[in-house]
Amino acid sequence: MGEKSIKPIFNKGPSLGARTALLILAALIIAGIYLYTDWFSSLKNKTTDLAIPFHWAADLPDRAIEIVDTKTMSRGRLEQENEALRTELLLHKRKLQEMVSLAAENVRLRQLLNSRETIEDRVLVAELIGISPDITTQKVIINRGSKHGVYVGQALLDANGLMGQVVEVGERSSRVLLITDSTHALPVQIDRNGVRLVAEGVGNPNEFRLSLRYVSNTTDIQEGDLLVSSGLGGRFPEGYPVAVVTEVEQHSGREFMQVWARPMAELDRSRHVLLVFDESQPEEE
C-alpha cells in the first residue's frame, strides 16, 4: 500500500493556489451567469433529462413497496376500495350533471354580457418523478417534456388546486417551481369578493405556506377565504383554486396585515398531476 509516486519537489504547472483561485472565479462567473442572465436557458433545458436516471434510482425503494403492497392486497380490501370508488364516482357524476346546466347558463349569461366564452383548458396528465434535494428550494421534476408539448411557464395542478409553474423543459422531463418556493409569487383574488392580492411563497422547509403581500388593514379578508388564481400575470390560467386563508394578523401600528394561507394542492403528497395548456396565451419559445 505504499505510494508509488513520490510528490515532486518542483511542481509543474500552475500552483495549487493559482488553480484554486481560477476555479473559484470560474464557479462565481457560472453562478452569476445562471442567476442574472438567461444565457444558460437552452443548456438548462438540455440538461434537465440528465437527472432522470438519478431520480429513477432514488424512487426504487418506494416503487418496490408499492408493488409488494398491490400484490399482497387482500380481496376484501380490494372489494371495499372498489365500492368506495363507485360511490365517489356516483357523487361526482351527479355534480357533473349539475355542472352541465350551470355551464349552459354561464354561456347564456356571458352572451348577455357580450364577453368572450371561456375556452375549456386542455390538460395533460403527468407523474411526479422527483423532488429537489435542497430543502430550501421547492422544485419538483415531472415525467413530461418538450416531446409532449410542455413549455416554460405552463401551470401545474393536482386534483385540489394549483401547484406551480414549469421553469425548465427537457425532452422527456421538466422542472417545476412550486408556488411555495421563496422565489415565487402569483396574483390571486379572493373568491368571495374578488379582491386582488399577491401570494408569495415562504419556502419554509417544514410546512407549505403562502404569505399575502400588501394587504391593507381595511381589506375584507377572513380566515377560511378561498383564493383563486386571477390570471392577471398572464402566466396562470384564471379561476383555479390556489389556497385557503389560515391566519389573519392585524397589527394596529403597521400599514399592512400579515396574512397566511395554506395551498389547496397537496404539494408533498400528490404524485399524479395535470399540466394545463392555456389556449388563450401565445406559446413562448
Partner 1 sequence: MGAHYWRTAFFLSFFIGVFLVFPLFPLARKLAIVRPELLCLLLIFWVLNRPQQMGVTFAFGLGLFQDVIHGNVWGSHALALTVLAYICLLSWQRIRSYSVWQQAMWVFVLVGTHQVVVSWVQGFAGYPSPTKLIVFPALVSALLWPFFSWVMLQLQWRLRLGT
Residues that bind partner 1 (CB under 8 A): 1, 3-5, 7, 16, 19-20, 23-24, 26-32, 34-35, 40, 47-48, 50-51, 54-55, 57-59, 61-62, 130-137, 139, 141, 168, 175, 182-183, 203, 205-206, 268
Which CB sits closer to partner 1, 17 or 194? Answer: 17
For residues 40 and 277, which CB has a smaller minimum distance to partner 1 in the complex? 40
* Smallest separation, CB 204 to partner 1 (Å): 8
- Cα–Cα distances (Å) from 3 to 6, 7, 212, in that order, read 7, 9, 62
Q: Which is nearer to partner 1, 248 or 267 (CB)?
A: 267
Question: Cβ 44 to partner 1, closest distance in Å?
Answer: 8
Identify the burial level of 25 via C-beta atoms within 10 angstroms of its C-beta, where 0-12 means exposed, 13-18 middle and 19 or more buried: exposed
Minimum distance of partner 1 from residue 48's CB (angstroms): 8
Q: Which residues contact 215 (CB under 8 A, 6 or more apart)?
A: 197, 221, 256, 257, 259
Angle at 224 between CA 125 and CA 97, to 5 degrees: 50
**How many other β-carbons are positioned within 10 Å of the β-carbon of residue 19?**
11
From first CA to last CA, the distance across the chain in angstroms is 57
> In the numeric block, which cell numbers belong to residue 100?
352541465
Question: What angle (nearest 5°) sits at the alpha carbon of residue 233, between those of residues 139 and 170?
Answer: 35
Q: Kindly tell me which of 44 and 148 has the beta carbon lying closer to partner 1.
A: 44
**Least Å from the CB of residue 268 to partner 1:** 7
- Give min distance, CB of 1 to partner 1, in A: 6
Q: Are 164 and 184 in contact (CB under 8 A)?
A: yes
Minimum Å gap between C-beta 181 and partner 1 is 8
Please say which residue, 67 or 89, places its beta carbon nearer to partner 1: 67
Q: Which is nearer to partner 1, 66 or 98 (CB)?
A: 66
Q: How far is it, in rounded angstroms, from Cα 64 to Cα 61?
A: 5
Closest separation in Å from C-beta 153 to partner 1: 17
By C-beta, is 35 or 113 nearer to partner 1? 35
Alpha helices in the chain (DSSP H): 16-36, 41-47, 52-71, 75-113
